[in-house]
Amino acid sequence: MNAMADSYVTEDGRTIGGVLMDLREITLRFGGVEAIKNISFDIREGEIRAIIGPNGAGKSSMLNVISGFYKPQEGEVYFRGALRPAMKPYQVARQGIARTFQNIALFEGMTVLDNIMTGRLNYMKAGIIKQAIWKGAAEREEIENRAHVERVIDFLDIQAIRKTPVGRLPYGLKKRVELARALAADPKLLLLDEPMAGMNVEEKEDMSRFILDVNDEFGTTIALIEHDMGVVMDLSDRVVVMDYGRKIGDGTPDEVRGNQEVIDAYLGVAHD
Amino acid sequence: MFYREAGDFKTSYAEDNQTFPIKFDRYRYWLVLAVAYLVIPFMINDYWANAIFVPFLIYAIAAIGLNILTGYCGQVSLGTGGFMAVGAYACYKLMTAFPDVNIVFHILVSGGVTAMVGAAFGLPSLRIKGFYLAVATLAAQFFLVWLFNKVGWFYNYSASGQISAPERFVGPFAVTGPNAAPWAQYMICLVFVTVCAVVARNLTRGTLGRKLMAIRDMDIAAEIIGVNPLRTKLTAFAISSFFIGISGALFFAVYLGAVEVGEAFGIQKSFLVLFMVIIGGLGSIFGSFAGAAFLVLLPVALKFVGSDLMGWPTDLVSHLQLVIIGALIMFFLIKEPHGLAQLWRVTKEKLRLWPFPH
């Protein structure tokens, strides 16, 4: 269904694989409001896929459909080649899809370390009795996963705040901790909902670097929503443009930039 | 000054994960255990056991149980009294039905029975939260007390409607019944408290604890990282009720000996344990002990100061106690929602630097 069925290599030498997630003819309604109207697009393995559009275009709804929060009335979601049945969000998470939120959704009462450790929950299988006596599998898992989490902490450069309760951190660091929690889960698909909202230029540059590094070093597929056009165009391999719940453009940043409908949507031409 | 952390380096994650990472804390913990096991049993008399130590230890278990549910998982419960009653009646039925089985085993099974009852009453927690859940658990409280009053099978159709604990032994020593020695009552409670506290600590510092706290802090985010909310909440209810059931069984069998359900496990008991958790510190095992100690000692201390030293009338002292507890609850909710445990933590932070705070 896509012209580029096979893997290819990008200009900067990363390999983009086959289709990881395929969304087909998704329609999502809230009562009489159609938030998403018959949208299809795919996300390929190893790529950075951006979803852009003006406010209220349905971008976050789209992300919520992918992460299982919303059940679309019509359409199908294929993940790793198989049709995904109706699932609860925690089941979607166990399939290997992690996400961050537009408004940070961290556990404020827990330390940074504990927050990131929650990202490893699906890898920790020790039974309740073993946990109660803190021996065998429970202790071993705790240490193994801690080692994994420490690598993520090193990667995102937040060693100094490991034992700090998240509630005490400034905004930019919270965003980074949230990314760390999502990364700790070793996701196959990482969804970022406005990772740079409310950041200054320096923080945006840091975050962009982290996103590129994650993609580059771990080969993680990333789908992100972002408002900053410069950032989107620089980061992403392919871009979906949404407006009023419809898809009005899809392609490489250059293709999208030249698309008349996209220009109209952003400059505000009257809709008929 | 008091805390020598310098040079106390951790070289493995296991060392960093221990309950008391600071050496000084670890020594103090062993010291407290040594005193509790090796000194107090030889000095204890009937008054100290019945007025202070035995109720303190039993309430500490109940507070640990409620703290797991309310402090760690964020589900407010007013059903503690009812769940303690389940533990007590389960223990009574087991003691009378299987007189040859050891009492320790009965108490553990009572905890298990209460866990199942608690999980059943935890079912509404998936749909309702906060204040409304508290009201739903209040229904459990009243229903259970009514049930144990109404159905004769639970109290073996005794004429008085009371249940009374027959004499049972651990080894050669009676721990229940009128001939139980104070030190034996104290010891069985102490063993249960120690095991419960260690288990509770292990459960709350690992995977399960993080799941519970994730649900407490933000349930939507918890679900998105793969926590099954219903299962986790029911687990919290079950574990919490397990501890509360054990405390109820001990309260009946070891402490009171004979129980009338409305009197011993009424709504006041639910509030008392909730106050212990609030004053002691939500989300802290140490806080459960601190809260239990505080609310057990307060009436004793007030009675000593008010009636014995000052010679005030008894009713004045008992009213004064209500006033003080009420004022303290308000004070803690406003000033220090994390209770005595947080005050203790702040004190320790200060002591680390004392006498040179800068």
Q: Would you call B210 and A88 a contact, using CB atoms and an 8 Å cutoff?
A: no
Residue A103 lies in a domain: no
Mean pLDDT for the stretch of residues A119-145:
89
Q: Residues A132, A177: one domain?
A: yes
Mean pLDDT for the stretch of residues B268-288:
93
Q: Which residue of A has its CA nearest to B227?
A: A90
Q: Residues A58, A193: one domain?
A: yes
pLDDT value, residue A2: 44
Q: Residues A199, A88: one domain?
A: yes
Any B CB within 8 A of A5 CB? no
What are the beta bridge partners of residue B258?
B164
Can you give the pTM of this predicted structure? 0.90
Q: Residues A122, A6: one domain?
A: no
Kindly report which listed range (A38-42, A63-67, A75-79, B342-346) carries the lowest average pLDDT score.
B342-346
What pLDDT band is residue A3 in, cutting at 50, 70 and 90? very low
Mutate one of A69, A70, A107 to test the B interface: name it (highest B CB count within 10 A).
Answer: A107
The three-state DSSP-derived secondary structure of B111-173 is HHHHHHHHHHHHHHHHCCCHHHHHHHHHHHHHHHHHHHHHCHHHHCCCCCCCEECCCCEECCE
Q: For all residues of chain B together, what is the average pLDDT?
A: 91
- Summarised one tens digit per residue, pLDDT across range A246-270 is 999 899 998 888 888 888 887 777 6
pLDDT value, residue B1: 46
Residue A221 lies in a domain: yes
Domain termination residue (choose one: A186, A214, A242): A186
What pLDDT band is residue A272 in, cutting at 50, 70 and 90? low
CB-nearest partner of A132 from B203, B216, B225: B203
Mean pLDDT for the stretch of residues A107-116:
94
- The DSSP bridge pattern shows strands A74-79 and B169-170 to be unpaired
pLDDT value, residue B7: 67
Reading the block at residue A267, the tokens are 């400059």
Secondary structure E strands in chain A: 8-9, 15-16, 19-30, 33-44, 48-52, 74-79, 82-83, 97-99, 189-193, 221-225, 238-243, 246-251
Mean pLDDT for the stretch of residues B220-230:
91
Q: Residues A35, A81: one domain?
A: yes
- Summarised one tens digit per residue, pLDDT across range B76-112 is 999 999 999 999 999 999 999 999 999 999 999 999 9
* B81 Cβ neighbours under 8 A, 6+ residues apart: B141, B145, B265, B266, B267, B268, B269, B270, B273
Q: What percent of chain A clears pLDDT 90, i.e. is strictly above it? A: 58
Any A CB within 8 A of B349 CB? no
- Three-class DSSP category at A8: strand
Residue A140 lies in a domain: yes
- Summarised one tens digit per residue, pLDDT across range B62-80 is 999 999 999 999 999 999 9
- Three-class DSSP category at A242: strand
* Ranges of each domain in chain B: 47-267
The larger pLDDT score, comparing residue A238 to residue A11, is at: A238
What pLDDT band is residue B276 in, cutting at 50, 70 and 90? very high
- Summarised one tens digit per residue, pLDDT across range B257-268 is 999 999 999 999
Is the pLDDT reported for residue A5 higher than 60?
no
User: Residue-wise over A144-182: b if at least 16 C-beta within 10 A, else e?
Assistant: ebbebbeebbebbebeebeeeebeebeebbbbbbbbbbb
pLDDT value, residue B49: 92
CB-nearest partner of B218 from A107, A126, A141: A107
pLDDT value, residue A258: 85
- Summarised one tens digit per residue, pLDDT across range A216-243 is 988 899 999 988 888 888 899 999 999 9
Is the pLDDT reported for residue B5 higher than 70?
no
Q: Residues A60, A90: one domain?
A: yes
pLDDT value, residue A46: 92
Mutate one of B68, B198, B224, B232 to test the A interface: name it (highest A CB count within 10 A).
Answer: B224
Mean pLDDT for the stretch of residues A87-104:
91
Q: Residues A22, A85: one domain?
A: yes
- The CB density around residue A75, as the number of other CB atoms within 10 Å, is 16
Domain termination residue (choose one: A164, A186, A208): A186
Mutate one of B12, B207, B232 to test the A interface: name it (highest A CB count within 10 A).
Answer: B207
Q: Which residue of A has its CA nearest to B226?
A: A90
Residue A101 lies in a domain: no
Identify the domain containing residue A231 by its residue range. Answer: 1-96+188-272
Is the pLDDT reported for residue B333 higher than 50?
yes
pLDDT value, residue A257: 86
Interface confidence, given as ipTM, is 0.88
- Three-class DSSP category at B2: coil
Q: Residues A85, A126: one domain?
A: no
Q: For all residues of chain A together, what is the average pLDDT?
A: 89
- The DSSP bridge pattern shows strands B258-259 and B163-164 to be antiparallel
Residue A83 φ then ψ, to 5°: -65, 130
Q: Residues A147, A203: one domain?
A: no
pLDDT value, residue B273: 96
Is the pLDDT reported for residue B171 higher than 50?
yes
The larger pLDDT score, comparing residue B55 to residue B128, is at: B55
- Summarised one tens digit per residue, pLDDT across range A51-85 is 998 888 899 999 999 999 899 999 999 999 899 99
- State how many domains chain A has: 2
Q: Residues A177, A201: one domain?
A: no
pLDDT value, residue B2: 58
Kindly report which listed range (A146-155, B19-28, B165-174) carries the lowest average pLDDT score.
B19-28
Any B CB within 8 A of A79 CB? no
User: Residue-wise over B322-358: b if at least 16 C-beta within 10 A, else e?
Assistant: eeebeebeeebeeeeebbbbbbbeeeeeeeeeeeeee
Q: Residues A91, A194: one domain?
A: yes
Cα-based distances in Å from B220 to A69, B207, B223: 9, 18, 5
pLDDT value, residue B347: 84
Residue A79 φ then ψ, to 5°: -125, 125
